[in-house]
Amino acid sequence: MSNTFLRLAVAAAFATTASLSMAQMARNNTAELERGARPDTTAQQRYQSAFREAHGGRKVAMEECAKMPAAERAGCNRQAQENFKADLARAEQLRRNPEARPINVIGSEIRTTESRIRP
């Protein structure tokens, strides 16, 4: 009897923790979306946006490289890393120079990824 009660108590604790975590994540996502709806006004904000974009671009590029044949993969990974380093250098320029602004580059279509949290 007490073993069943203990199992139920543990299950209830996990369910409560999971629901609290999901609620916190929802609040964080909402705050981030609201923040993203406003333009960057400071050099630090522009840097942070460029930094996130650089990491997101690298993630997408590396995923695309992983789908390539093995013979082409090394060159693709190298190019992705070079682009990433150049993007980070541009982000640093945005932080150091308050007058600098992001460059609007028209290129290929926007690609998105979904980050999955692994248990």
Model confidence pLDDT, tens digit, residues 42-83: 888 888 988 999 999 999 999 999 999 999 999 999 999 999
Q: Which two tokens stand for residue 59?
A: 């993630």
Instruction: Answer whether 40's CB lies under 8 Å from 46's CB.
Output: yes
Instruction: Answer whether 55's CB lies under 8 Å from 115's CB.
Output: no
CA dist., res. 11 & res. 76, Å (int) = 47
The model's pTM is 0.58
